[in-house]
Amino acid sequence: MADAASFRAPEGATGCLVLASGEVVWGRGFGAEGQAVGEVCFHTAMTGYQEIMTDPSFAGQIITFTFPHIGNVGANPDDVEADRPHALGMIVREDVTAPSNFRAVERLDGWMQRHARIGLAGIDTRALTRRIRTGGAPNGVVAHSAAGVFDVPALLEMARAWPGLEGMDLAKSVSTQTHFGWQGGVWRLGFGYDASDDAGGRHVVAVDYGSKHNIFRNLALAGAKVTVVPATASWEQIEAFGADGYFLSNGPGDPAATAEYAVPVIRAMLDTGKPLFGICLGHQLLALAVGGRTTKMFQGHRGANHPVKRLADGAVEITSMNHGFAVERDSLPAAVHETHVSLFDGSNAGLGLDGGRVFSVQYHPEASPGPQDSMYLFPRFVGMLS
């Protein structure tokens, strides 16, 4: 890393990362040309880069992949969690190679270019990850120019002017704008996605704060009929569906900002006494609705190997996580009990109330491609509906 004021692009550099601190990292760009500004984080998963890039929870972020071989299985239309990538770009160690997988239909760099997302290869991702771990997730700009021409001072100013995720409501920007009934089941090799059979199923209204498709697939697999509504849907609009229970999805941004319009609706849901299940941002919003607080994490939790202890029986679940904010356990009222904790840092990873009919987890139990230790939560929730 070098200081922006004194560093010129080295020979052959077609991409760079400029941090708000003034540090510049040079590499080889791929995907779309241009620049994007956001929070630079790291993700430790060894698989699922398409799922990660399309997770709406990554809106406003540039992902550093710690696993060196990203792109080696190409891209396909099935391994996605939304209709487009929401992460702004990716930073990887090795150049993206031609795919070696029978399911691939295009190269990852072509997929990135088609979706106007920027990639940066040839980076010492170990050094960058250490930088994030010791200094926190910084604001930065990732840029790609095939001609190798960069206005580094302008990129530095862009990084410094970006306000950061704290206080930013991003759920509105990634949520559906209209309600719809979810159709489609889980994916099976050789068959693709199953059709969902919601005939006679218990009805769940799912609030989309930036949801992943696999959440709805697993609710349907557990036997639920799912109606998805926008993040800003009013209680009157939600109540009109006559649901048997409610679901609060994952999503990006600061939960305290999204809470301004989400919390009154969640409190109305709680007043009905019907079952409620929240994931990730939905977990944080539920905590805020019952009187808790959330805080920005130093580096966040992002990976597919996070151990979580289930306090009811001491079992350990290996989970997928993606969050930069956390619930302050000491802020939870007496009526709310902690159900799960992270074994990495002891932070809150789940809560419950109302005899267990209302519960939420900080991690992603629907994780695709995995792990699948926590998928029991979906049939547990649907089984509560009446």
155 shares its domain with 191? no
Q: Please list the alpha-helical segments (H only) found in 33-107.
A: 49-54
For a pLDDT cut of 90, what percent of the chain falls above it?
91
Among 283, 301, 323, 364, the active-site one is 364
What was the pLDDT predicted at 1?
A: 61
pLDDT one-digit tens code per residue, 338-363: 999 999 999 999 999 989 999 999 99
What was the pLDDT predicted at 75?
A: 98
Tokens found for residue 351: 């809560």
107 shares its domain with 141? yes
For residue 121, give its domain range.
2-161
What was the pLDDT predicted at 191?
A: 83
Q: Please list the alpha-helical segments (H only) found in the chain.
A: 49-54, 108-114, 125-135, 152-161, 171-174, 213-221, 235-239, 255-271, 281-289, 377-384
State CA 72 to chain mean position distance: 22
* Mean pLDDT computed over 61-88: 96
Burial of 381 (0-12, 13-18, 19+ CB in 10 A): buried
In a domain, 92, yes or no: yes
pLDDT one-digit tens code per residue, 113-162: 999 999 999 999 999 999 999 999 999 999 999 999 999 999 999 999 99
Among 280, 283, 301, 317, the active-site one is 280
Is the confidence at residue 5, as pLDDT, over 70? no
156 shares its domain with 235? no
150 shares its domain with 273? no
What was the pLDDT predicted at 2?
A: 57
What was the pLDDT predicted at 256?
A: 98
- Euclidean distance between CA atoms 127 and 18, whole angstroms: 15
**Phi/psi of residue 238, nearest 5 degrees:** -70, -45
Q: What is the DSSP letter of 330?
A: G
Task: Quickly state the pLDDT bin for 29 (edges 50, 70, 90).
Answer: very high
The verdict on whether 106 is a catalytic residue reads: no
- Euclidean distance between CA atoms 108 and 52, whole angstroms: 13
Mean model confidence pLDDT for the chain: 95
In a domain, 378, yes or no: yes
Is the confidence at residue 326, as pLDDT, over 60? yes
325 shares its domain with 219? yes
Which residues contact residue 346 at a Cβ distance below 8 angstroms, ignoring those fewer than 6 apart? none
What pTM, to 2 d.p., does this model score?
0.96
The verdict on whether 328 is a catalytic residue reads: no
Task: Quickly state the pLDDT bin for 107 (edges 50, 70, 90).
Answer: very high
pLDDT one-digit tens code per residue, 206-229: 999 999 999 999 999 999 999 999
What was the pLDDT predicted at 9?
A: 82
The verdict on whether 364 is a catalytic residue reads: yes
Q: How many domains does the chain have?
A: 2
